[in-house]
Chain A
């Protein structure tokens, strides 16, 4: 915050102020560098572990590996079938495919639901509007796990969860439903965005005889690129980040249908944990991390915009 106030008549004071500013700047560099190092250490460590020379290594005490190689990545993509150690076949490509399918479909459904609800709540006035907002807020206060277990039973009773064998892919349909069904209730950030679009724009369009649908489609949506991208980014990355919903709904029964998070967790801590899979796990983390981080970095601007808006809206 130290901003230097120019005062040519007191040159000496100015000089000392300048020195003070420089010291504080240097101090800031030192502190920031130390912090950056703290934030980098774990990330670098997992990347280094992934490139360890010894394939199927356990967690060991060296931060820097003694030998380097890509054996763990090869191991990750090689299906061992029946011969898999500890009986778990880590079909990483299949987990990746599953997660990709889930996140694309979820992204499409969720973005549509969120935007439509946010537009209605923000720009239309109707009888149940306030009631709808209050109910949504109250529903959001129940811990997700309570409903998660009931959702499991619900999906199970219509055959979309807990399947094994040939029908195991139905679990994925169930998971998509579970992810995207409630999405419409998370409209707050998008609503905050629509609130800022001037209502006069909507009103003048209405005077010109536009229907509400046309206003939404032709006027609001083209103005909402940032929030569309933010909503899509959030719902797309959701399935890559979520762990527990996927674990409960897909179950441990059908390894081919796991998502990456369930698969990677089960490698290390699952029903048949295997601590020697650590380096393979690290390789998996890198493979999942790269696309998601790239996506995030590319769309950083929109993410920051959404996060800042969310801070004010809660």
Chain B
């Protein structure tokens, strides 16, 4: 490890490397993706289809049949239970697709599944399999706004697509299983029995048993919702256009993305979005940079102080700081919010010290606002400072262990050379810690871009900007929340979500793909 740190020091600094990584990402990684990865992908697809065809030609009658009737191959080879399971799945799938069982939507509208839900995915209003003008729109937080059931149509359409994909996977595995049995017969072995198949699930195919629950759960609760919200970004699903109410919402291409940059949009929302997008984006970045680095370096310094040799009561100090991590975050934040309230104790202490008027630390938008106007800079600094209170103990805890692992001979050598303590910090301690914790630094930066709780619970985005939803301390995510949950502009919210994803993905991909943790992930064992 010591050698690595030394070579690390000779390299250009973090920012130069990040810059190079950024340039390389566009000049090398992306072209490489198009010239090498994509052709390779198509070649693989070609091979796959060839193998598929060969299997059909080579296979026994059972294998050929199982292309059409699931489980036929298994029954042909005497694997009756397996065959029955496959066939049962096929029957269920066909019944689902043909019978289209309906789900009861808001106001009792029956929204069909099955093949009809695929037709409904057009979101084409009157042509859809829905009674026109009936229904209602759910809003998170309860209540039904009389509107339409497009959201359910979209959801069920996507669910049906997911079911079709799962069916294709089952279909392929059924062909494969039959083909494997063919090969076994050709080689003079017996096709595997059901018992053997189950035993394999506990051994060679253990990963299938273990990963299936997570994959299914993630498909339903992570992948599907994410895709659905991406889809909503391309629809007219917002409060303004949903007030007429007899229509279903429909696809509108890239219109929502355009409204982020186009200040001449007619709708009030379009103006809000175009006027506020860049300020919010800018503040999100400032916040993420300051929140990440103040907590990071503050934590390292605190760890150094606490781990100082000869210091008595290390454990007591550590416990005090760990207490902050242990207290649920929403409590700490709400306590801070009250502590810095216009009428709170901090303000009263300040007044006792001679400050004439309460300071609106957290941009409270109450009736008192005219009496206690909020200063944007003050509120922003306060948010960052309070975030330090929350974040520093965590970094302290994390870096404590790392600090103790720094080889002592590095310091000894430096001390023999007469290096000062400050210089040792910058030349040994810091490079070492940064080297080890780069992955954390990246993930905490991304985490801060998405740091909903801190802003929402402290300021709710305030101080408010007159005429707009997004306040001065709103991040992209809290703005997203306001637009969707409070106002019902789901399409714009989704667009902002997609932007946040693009930002975080770019940063992460550039840095992660270059990091040791990613590239040498399975060499270290």
**Bound complex: CA of A148 vs CA of B140, how far in Å?**
10
Q: Is B339 an interface residue (CB 8 A)?
A: yes
A310 CA to B394 CA in the complex, in Å? 12
Question: How many residues of chain B are within 8 Å of chain A by beta carbon?
Answer: 118
Q: Determine if A141 and B324 form an interchain contact, defined as CB atoms under 8 angstroms apart.
A: no
Q: Is B69 an interface residue (CB 8 A)?
A: no
Complex alpha-carbon distance, A132 and B304, angstroms: 39
Does A285 count as interface, using CB distance less than 8 angstroms?
yes
Nearest chain B residue, comparing its CB with the CB of A127: B207
Contact A142 B497 (CB under 8 A): yes
Is there a chain B Cβ closer than 8 Å to A38's Cβ?
yes
Q: A42-B335, A181-B221 are in contact. Are A310 and B440 (CB under 8 A)?
A: yes
Report the separation of the CA atoms of residues A302 and B340 in the bound assembly, to the nearest whole angstrom: 34
Question: Nearest Cβ in chain B — how far from A83, in angstroms?
Answer: 23
- Interface assignment of A81: CB less than 8 Å from any CB of chain B: no
Candidates B138, B437, B457, B517; contact of A156 at CB < 8 Å:
B138
A105 at the interface (CB under 8 A from B): no
Q: For B480, what are the chain A residues with a Cβ–Cβ distance below 8 Å?
A: 143, 145-146
Query: A interface, how many residues as a size bin?
Result: 35 or more
- B345 with A314: CB separation less than 8 A: no
Shortest CB-to-CB span from A60 to chain B, Å, is 7
Contacts of A84 in B (CB 8 A): none
Q: Which of B127-135, B250-258, B501-509 forms part of the interface with chain A?
A: B501-509
In the bound assembly, the distance between CA atoms of A133 and B210 in angstroms comes to 15
Interface residue from B103, B206, B221, B425 paired with A212 (Cβ < 8 Å) = B206
Tell me, yes or no, whether B463 is within 8 Å of chain A by CB: no
Instruction: Kindly list chain A residues whose C-beta atoms are within 8 Å of the C-beta of B206.
Output: 120, 124, 211-213, 216
Residue B92 interfacial (CB < 8 Å):
no
Nearest residue (CB) in A for B511 is: A314
For chain B residues 320-374, which have a beta carbon within 8 Å of chain A?
Answer: 320-332, 334-336, 338-339, 341, 343-345, 347-349, 351
B93 interface residue (CB < 8 Å to A): no
User: Min CB distance, A234 to chain B, in Å?
Assistant: 12
In the complex, residue of chain B having the shortest beta-carbon distance to the beta carbon of A162? B142
Asked if A139 and B322 sit within 8 Å, CB to CB, the answer is no
A43 at the A/B interface (Cβ < 8 Å)?
A: yes
B493 interface residue (CB < 8 Å to A): yes
Contact B222 A181, beta carbon cutoff 8 Å: yes
Using an 8 Å CB-CB cutoff, how does the interface string of B498-525 with A read, 1 for contact, 0 for none? 1011001100100010000100010011
Quick check: is A144 within 8 A (CB to CB) of the other chain? yes
Bitwise interface map of B from 456 to 487 toward A, beta carbon under 8 Å scored 1, else 0: 11000000000000000000110011001100
- A25 on the B face (CB < 8 A): yes
Contact of A181 among B220, B398, B415 (CB under 8 A): B220
The answer to whether the Cβ of B13 comes within 8 Å of any Cβ in the partner chain is no
The chain B residue sitting closest to A41, CB to CB, is: B339
B80 at the interface (CB under 8 A from A): no
Point out the residue from B308, B421, B439, B500 that lies within 8 Å of A314, measured CB to CB.
B439
B347 close to A61 (CB less than 8 A): yes
Q: B309–A42 contact, CB under 8 A? A: no
Task: Give which listed residue, B309, B326, B505, contacts A138 with CB less than 8 A.
Answer: B505
- Complexed CA–CA distance, A151 and B228 (Å): 9
Provided the pairs A145-B452, A265-B330, A289-B331 are in contact, do residues A63 and B345 lie with their beta carbons within 8 angstroms? yes
- Docked Cα-Cα span, A229 to B452, in Å, equals 27
Which chain A positions have C-beta within 8 A of B504? 141, 143
Q: Is B197 an interface residue (CB 8 A)?
A: no
Bound: A209/B426 CA distance, A: 53
- Does A16 sit at the interface, judged by CB under 8 A? no
Alpha-carbon gap, A65 to B156, bound state (A): 57
Chain A CB within 8 A of B442 CB: yes
Residues of B241-283 at the interface with A, using a CB-CB cut-off of 8 Å, are none
A-B contact count (CB 8 A): 304
Q: With both chains docked as a complex, state the minimum distance between the C-beta of A310 and any C-beta of chain B, in angstroms.
A: 7
Q: In the bound complex, do residue A144 and residue B306 qualify as a contact, i.e. CB atoms below 8 Å apart?
A: no
A248-B330 contact in complex given A1-B411, A147-B226, C-beta closer than 8 Å: no
Name B453's contact: one of A21, A62, A243, A281 (CB within 8 Å). Answer: A243
B26 → chain A closest CB, angstroms:
19
Q: Which residues of A contact B446 (CB under 8 A)?
A: 141
- Decide: A1 near B229, CB < 8 A? Known: A184-B217, A313-B439: no
A91 to chain B minimum Cβ distance, whole angstroms, is 18
Is B16 located at the chain interface by the 8 A CB criterion?
no
Complex formed: what's the CA distance from A268 to B500 in Å?
A: 31
B424: CB under 8 A from chain A? yes
**What B residues does A240 contact at CB under 8 A?**
328
In the complex, A204→B508 CA distance in Å? 38
* Chain B nearest Cβ from A218, distance in angstroms: 12
Q: Which residue of chain A lies nearest to B219 when distances are taken between CB atoms in the complex? A: A181
Q: Which of A171-187 contact B (CB under 8 A)?
A: 177-178, 180-182, 184-185
Interface: B27 (CB within 8 A)? no
Minimum distance in angstroms from A31 CB to a CB of chain B: 6
**CB neighbours of A58 from chain B (8 A):** 343
Nearest A residue (CB) for B525: A199
B12 within 8 A of A: no
Q: How far is the CB of B77 from chain A (nearest CB, A)?
A: 24
Which of A7-15, A72-80, A291-299 has 4 or more CB atoms under 8 Å from chain B?
A291-299
Quick check: is A288 within 8 A (CB to CB) of the other chain?
yes
Once the chains are docked, how many angstroms separate the CA of A107 from the CA of B68?
43
Distance in Å: Cβ of B466 to nearest Cβ of chain A: 22
Assess the B326–A292 pair: CB atoms within 8 A. yes
Q: Which of B152, B214, B317, B345 contacts A36 (CB 8 A)?
A: B317
State which of B140, B343, B398, B456 has its C-beta within 8 Å of the C-beta of A152.
Answer: B140
A-facing residues in B189-217 (Cβ within 8 Å): 199, 202-204, 206-207, 209-211, 213-214, 217
Q: List A contacts of B322 (CB < 8 A).
A: 296-297, 300
Chain B residues whose C-beta falls within 8 Å of the C-beta of A181 in the assembled complex: 217-218, 220-222
Given that A39-B321, A59-B344, A145-B477 are contacting pairs, would A162 and B138 also be in contact in the complex, using a CB cutoff of 8 Å? yes
- Cross-chain contact B225 with A147 (CB below 8 angstroms): yes
CA distance A289 to B329 in the complex (A): 10
**One of B325, B331, B424, B508 near A141 (C-beta < 8 A):** B508
Taking the nearest CB of chain A, how far is it from the CB of B47, in angstroms?
A: 14
Docked pose: A237 CA to B325 CA in angstroms: 11
B165-205 interface bits toward A, Cβ cutoff 8 Å, 1 = contact, 0 = none: 00000000000000000000000000000000001001110
CB neighbours of B221 from chain A (8 A): 147, 151, 154, 177-178, 181-182
Known: A42-B335, A143-B504. 20 other contacts (CB 8 A): A28-B305, A32-B311, A39-B323, A39-B389, A39-B393, A43-B324, A61-B351, A116-B211, A124-B207, A133-B521, A137-B512, A149-B493, A180-B217, A184-B214, A198-B525, A211-B206, A213-B206, A244-B481, A268-B334, A308-B402
Q: Can you list 14 contacts pairing A with B, beta carbon distance less than 8 Å?
A: A31-B305, A32-B305, A59-B344, A137-B512, A143-B500, A143-B504, A158-B103, A181-B218, A181-B220, A184-B218, A212-B206, A237-B328, A251-B141, A285-B335
3 interchain residue pairs of minimum CB distance:
A314-B439, A184-B214, A61-B348
Interface residues of A (CB under 8 A from B): 1-3, 5, 21, 25, 28-29, 31-32, 35-36, 38-40, 42-43, 45-46, 58-63, 113, 116-117, 119-120, 124, 126, 132-133, 137-139, 141-154, 156-158, 162, 164, 177-178, 180-182, 184-185, 195, 198-199, 211-214, 216, 237, 240-244, 247-248, 251-253, 261, 264-265, 268, 278, 281, 285, 288-289, 292-293, 295-297, 300, 304, 307-308, 310-314
